[in-house]
Amino acid sequence: MELNAKIPEGPLASKWSKHKFNLKLVNPANKRKYTILVVGTGLAGSSAAASLAELGYNVKTFCFQDSPRRAHSIAAQGGINAAKNYRNDGDSVHRLFYDTIKGGDYRAREANVHRLAEVSVNIIDQCVAQGVPFAREYGGLLDNRSFGGSQVSRTFYARGQTGQQLLLGAYSALNRQINEGAVQSYTRHEMLDVVVVDGKAQGIVTRDLVTGKIESHAGHAVLLCTGGYGNVFYLSTNAMGCNVTAAWKAHKRGAFFGNPCYTQIHPTCIPVTGDHQSKLTLMSESLRNDGRVWAPRTPELAQRLRKGEIKVEDLKEEDRDYFLERKYPAFGNLVPRDVASRNAKEAVDEGRGVGGSGIAVFLDFADAIKRLGEDAVRAKYGNLFDMYYQITDENPYKHPMRIYPAVHYTMGGLWVDYNLQTTVPGLYALGEANFSDHGANRLGASALMQGLADGYFVIPATVGDYLATIGPKPVDANHPAFAETTKAVKERIDKLLSLKGNKTVDEYHRELGLIMWEYCGMARTAEGLAKAKGLISALRADFWKNAIVLGTNDEMNQSLEKAGRVADFLELGELMVDDALNRSESCGGHFRVESQTEEGEALRDDENFAYVAAWEYKGDNVAEALHKEALVFENIKLAQRSYK
Amino acid sequence: MSGHMNLTLKVWRQKNENDRGGFITYKATDISPDMSFLEMLDVVNESLVKRGEDPIYFDHDCREGICGMCSLYINGRPHGPKRAITTCQLHMRSFSDGETITIEPWRSAAFPVIKDLATNRAAFERIQQAGGFVSVGTGGVPDANEIPIPKVIADEAFNSATCIGCGACVAACKNASAMLFVSAKISQLALLPQGQQERYQRAQAMVAQMDEEGFGNCTNTGACEAECPKEISLTNIARMNREFFSAKFFKEEEIR
């Protein structure tokens, strides 16, 4: 199958507006004859569902949480980018486009990213109109800050809770449509498969997590807004329930998976304290605006510190290595996430780590407190400092924070064309669930932007073209494909429930996570990846023999829920390793040890790898087929990233 | 890395909404003070699963205090003994070795238990759906900076907007009143210029839905404010009452 990204012809800046004009429209009187199924209710899902219902379509939303408002977008802290240029500091749509392509290490599509930058300005307007309380200045206008490696102040924020406020905005728009009867909301429902009829997605199969009831829902289009798959690493900043199941089932039904190995490791997370750790907590990257990252200069000093022979305060200035400032004088502590994370790992690998485990570096606010005063620091970062204090029992106003990178975001996801359609017609992927806009590394404050861009502005235009093409004929819910898919879902549940071994699902998940972190984490080698492949496939085989899955289907059964999700992660993990193995260059969040510059920086290989790797499922235990979508850069000159 | 704390847990177990339910006692051993409360329950559950027993069902998701999913009534207090945090942010260092901890679900007729420690909070959804929004569609809105808002007003609206919808206010209240929750949303939009057009319809619609759901009334005890993990203030309730009474006493055109 030939991949067609359907990128419109013409100059970059007019592609989107021209494309919108060329897209077919659905007659207003016909819109109510269509049903659209939206899976996931985070920023992408809620905004899409609300916007589509406003247009007149029937919409059904599904989420596994007890309310759409609890989707994990809620936890995003830092902010959302928009090319408003309210600061008069030289920002523009083109600059946001350029920064995003460069930040993504030249592995994203020009046309998609430019569209993202274009609609970014509309997102802020939309959110403000809904009553989202963004930070403001005394004059009453919106405040901005610089964020995550950006040289301009284009980030809009709502204290450290931007994701929460944006999601509550989208949720309120969704509620309005539910109130009007245009949206039916299904909570505590998990999607377990896609129904494909004659090559088109026409429905889904869900499980009611309270009663266990398996049912199918028919629709003219299915939108997967189901987030990322960071929990394949077990420990990540994702919520406990975040999973790949919806995307993975779609993949097995024919949707290609794009760039699965692109994982973002976020540099500023609270370090692990023990085996009981269930998740990692991120602290906004905005902390790097004022905090200075450092490690003791030598392993000896670090060791004495860990043993408690000396205190942090005893370390003289010359014994502190502000390694980001030293190595990257132009960007200092504000280098992109991948660079900051790798350097922290390097310091720890050299034995210069701090804290009980030795797996952490310092993030120090002493200078900022001296310069701005404790009150000013509290006003800016109060909630983050409180959170840190709460979790670690250490006062960050008095002692430097300890931080370490953790898995945060997955740039990879279902492959989509310019219309956000996967390789299965009628099946779309939005937000973090797709692969499209962040290349190999996502810049700070870009995830919220993408989720809302896809939901509010892109999908309402593009899905209409598909719907107009297939026509408003009702979907036949009696087509045998519905019964067959439902049966397959039930059989798999029965198979999971038959597992009465001796190892808990969590134990498998933890083990998988360790393999992924060790071999497919911040630095990857061909040798390590080959080893990981064997380990994962052995673990998967063992899971299907020795896992313990308790209870029955007809009840609230967390044992069953977890088992289904971990079983899918065990398959995804292997694909991630295959993809990482194939991409023998370093780029963005994917660092191949074999491919680095003399200075130890990531070395891209544009000649051989300027493509999107889109993987096609070929059957259980059969190698997936690799399809390549060449990335064509007509407006940007590819350059090795340098933040020196 | 396990810890040294040993605890006795009295946990509410209930198979489903129709089951009567009751307390069951469990031992939690080798607990580390660095564990969060939910991680402690994970450890207990892991050992239950190993023994082939049904693990304790509790709601949780983000585990960083923002999604509002977690909801335990610990030793008679929603979200446990510490102020201004959710259960997921509560750590075992807040308890002593050897302690007995009682864990119950939210207790309110409007939040029926669906299993063990999880309740159905759909009543909150329906209240929000009744009017917790500004009626603007996607597109066609003014430039963001054309709606200036004084910083003090924006900050006050933000304080109301931080509500996570967990339901601790209802659980804390002797009347199981939802007024703190409802008033937070009404306040946020009543304070902001964007919310003015519909402020009175909103207050009436949301209060009517709240009453229909069977929540109790407010007797100004203030337990909700004391237990709210996001420190939503009682002032919101006063503001909601004003919005509601203004809407009832006057005709729309007179109160603009």
CATH code for the domain in which residue B108 is found: 3.10.20.30
End of a domain among B115, B132, B165? B115
Point out the residue among B2, B61, B188 whose CB comes nearest to the CB of A65.
B61
A561-579 residue pLDDT tens:
999 999 999 999 999 999 9
A86-130 residue pLDDT tens:
999 999 999 999 999 999 999 999 999 999 999 999 999 999 999
Domain check: are B79 and B186 in the same one?
no
Q: Which of residues 584-643 of A touch B (CB under 8 A)?
A: none
B65: closest CA of chain A, how far (Å): 9
Structural domain for B170, as ranges: 122-254
Query: What pLDDT is recorded for position A241?
Result: 98
Q: Is A126 an interface residue toward B (CB < 8 Å)?
A: yes
Mean pLDDT over A479-496 rounds to 98
Write the DSSP symbol of residue A68.
G
End of a domain among B115, B142, B162? B115
Chain B CB contacts of A154 below 8 Å: none
Instruction: Report helix, strand or coil for B44.
Output: helix
Instruction: Report helix, strand or coil for B55.
Output: coil
Point out the residue among B52, B64, B138 whose CB comes nearest to the CB of A126.
B138
Give strand pairing partners of A223.
A38, A428
- Contact between A587 and A234 (Cβ < 8 Å): no
B254: closest CA of chain A, how far (Å): 24
Q: Within a 10 A sphere around the Cβ of A350, how many other Cβ atoms?
A: 13
Mark yes or no for CB contact A175/B132 under 8 Å: yes
Chain B CB contacts of A171 below 8 Å: 128
Mark yes or no for CB contact B69/A141 under 8 Å: no
Maximum Cα interatomic distance, chain A, rounded to a whole number of Å: 77
Domain check: are B96 and B39 in the same one?
yes
B67: closest CA of chain A, how far (Å): 5
Domain check: are B127 and B221 in the same one?
yes
Domain check: are B62 and B137 in the same one?
no
Mark yes or no for CB contact B16/A50 under 8 Å: no
B221: closest CA of chain A, how far (Å): 28
Domain check: are B145 and B179 in the same one?
yes
pLDDT band for A592, please (50, 70, 90 cuts).
very high
* A207: annotated active-site residue: no
Environment class of B249 (CB within 10 Å of its CB; exposed 0-12, middle 13-18, buried 19+): exposed
Q: Is A309 an interface residue toward B (CB < 8 Å)?
A: no
Q: Which of residues 205-234 of B touch A (CB under 8 A)?
A: none
A356-412 residue pLDDT tens:
889 999 999 999 999 999 999 998 888 889 889 999 999 999 999 999 999 999 999
Q: Is A69 an interface residue toward B (CB < 8 Å)?
A: yes
Mark yes or no for CB contact B165/A67 under 8 Å: yes
Q: Is B1 an interface residue toward A (CB < 8 Å)?
A: yes
CATH number for the domain spanning B222: value is: 1.10.1060.10
Q: Which of residues 18-57 of A touch B (CB under 8 A)?
A: 47, 50-51, 54
Sign of the torsion angle spanned by Cα atoms B127, B130, B136, B139: positive
Query: What pLDDT is recorded for position A600?
Result: 84
Q: Is A136 an interface residue toward B (CB < 8 Å)?
A: yes
Q: What's the token pair of residue B102?
A: 């009682």
Q: Of the residues A95, A109, A154, A337, which is catalytic?
A: A337
With pLDDT > 70 as the criterion, what percentage of chain B qualifies?
A: 97
Taking 3-state DSSP, the helix, strand and coil percentages for chain A, each rounded to the nearest 5, stand at 45, 15, 40
Share the mean pLDDT of chain B: 95
Mean pLDDT over B103-109 rounds to 96
Write the DSSP symbol of residue A442.
P
Query: What pLDDT is recorded for position A478?
Result: 97
Residue of B53, B62, B152 to mutate for A, most A C-beta atoms under 10 A: B62
Smallest CA–CA distance from B138 into chain A, residue = A51
Interatomic CA distance for residues B149 and B157, integer angstroms: 10
A316-355 residue pLDDT tens:
999 999 999 999 998 899 888 888 999 999 999 999 999 9
B190-232 residue pLDDT tens:
999 999 999 999 999 999 999 999 999 999 999 999 999 999 9
Query: What pLDDT is recorded for position B22?
Result: 98
Domain check: are B130 and B233 in the same one?
yes
Q: Is A239 an interface residue toward B (CB < 8 Å)?
A: yes
Chain B CB contacts of A50 below 8 Å: 138
Q: Is B88 an interface residue toward A (CB < 8 Å)?
A: no
Query: What pLDDT is recorded for position B254?
Result: 56
Q: How many domains does chain B have?
A: 2
Chain A CB contacts of B192 below 8 Å: 131, 133
End of a domain among B93, B115, B137? B115
Domains of chain A: 12-77+108-120+162-262+411-470 (3.50.50.60), 267-405 (3.90.700.10), 498-607 (1.20.58.100)
Mean pLDDT over A198-224 rounds to 98
A126: closest CA of chain B, how far (Å): 6
Interatomic CA distance for residues A576 and A582, integer angstroms: 10
Interatomic CA distance for residues A366 and A296, integer angstroms: 16
Residue of A134, A278, A552 to mutate for B, most B C-beta atoms under 10 A: A278
Domain check: are B248 and B127 in the same one?
yes
Mean pLDDT over B36-49 rounds to 97
Mark yes or no for CB contact A158/B125 under 8 Å: no
Share the mean pLDDT of chain A: 96
pLDDT band for B252, please (50, 70, 90 cuts).
low
Q: Which of residues 23-62 of B touch A (CB under 8 A)?
A: 32, 34-36, 38-39, 42-43, 46, 49-50, 52-55, 57, 59-62
ipTM: 0.97
Mean pLDDT over A23-39 rounds to 97
Residue of A63, A126, A128, A496 to mutate for B, most B C-beta atoms under 10 A: A128
Domain check: are B42 and B103 in the same one?
yes
Query: What pLDDT is recorded for position A380?
Result: 83
Cα A206 from chain centroid (whole Å): 23
A&B contacts, CB < 8 Å: 217
Query: What pLDDT is recorded for position A644?
Result: 79
Q: Within a 10 A sphere around the Cβ of A351, how many other Cβ atoms?
A: 15
A623: closest CA of chain B, how far (Å): 34
A609: closest CA of chain B, how far (Å): 36
End-to-end CA distance of chain B: 63
Q: Which of residues 94-153 of B touch A (CB under 8 A)?
A: 114-115, 118, 120-122, 124-125, 128-139, 141-145, 147-151
Mark yes or no for CB contact A54/B195 under 8 Å: no
Query: What pLDDT is recorded for position A284?
Result: 85
Query: What pLDDT is recorded for position B256?
Result: 47
Taking 3-state DSSP, the helix, strand and coil percentages for chain B, each rounded to the nearest 5, stand at 40, 15, 45
Domain check: are B76 and B198 in the same one?
no
CA distances from A328 to A402, A504, A523 (A): 21, 45, 20
Chain A CB contacts of B144 below 8 Å: 84, 124-125, 127-128, 134, 142
Mark yes or no for CB contact A67/B124 under 8 Å: yes
CA distances from B86 to A596, B73, B164, B165 (A): 45, 11, 10, 11
With pLDDT > 90 as the criterion, what percentage of chain B qualifies?
A: 95
Domain check: are B100 and B81 in the same one?
yes
Query: What pLDDT is recorded for position A30?
Result: 97
Mark yes or no for CB contact A276/B115 under 8 Å: no
Query: What pLDDT is recorded for position A382?
Result: 87
Helical H segments across A296-399, by residue range? 299-307, 323-327, 337-349, 366-372, 374-392
Domain check: are B46 and B137 in the same one?
no
End-to-end CA distance of chain A: 43
Domain check: are B127 and B242 in the same one?
yes
Mark yes or no for CB contact B67/A74 under 8 Å: yes
Interatomic CA distance for residues B28 and B14, integer angstroms: 20
Query: What pLDDT is recorded for position A641?
Result: 78
In degrees and rounded to multiples of 5, residue B50 shows phi and psi of -60, -35
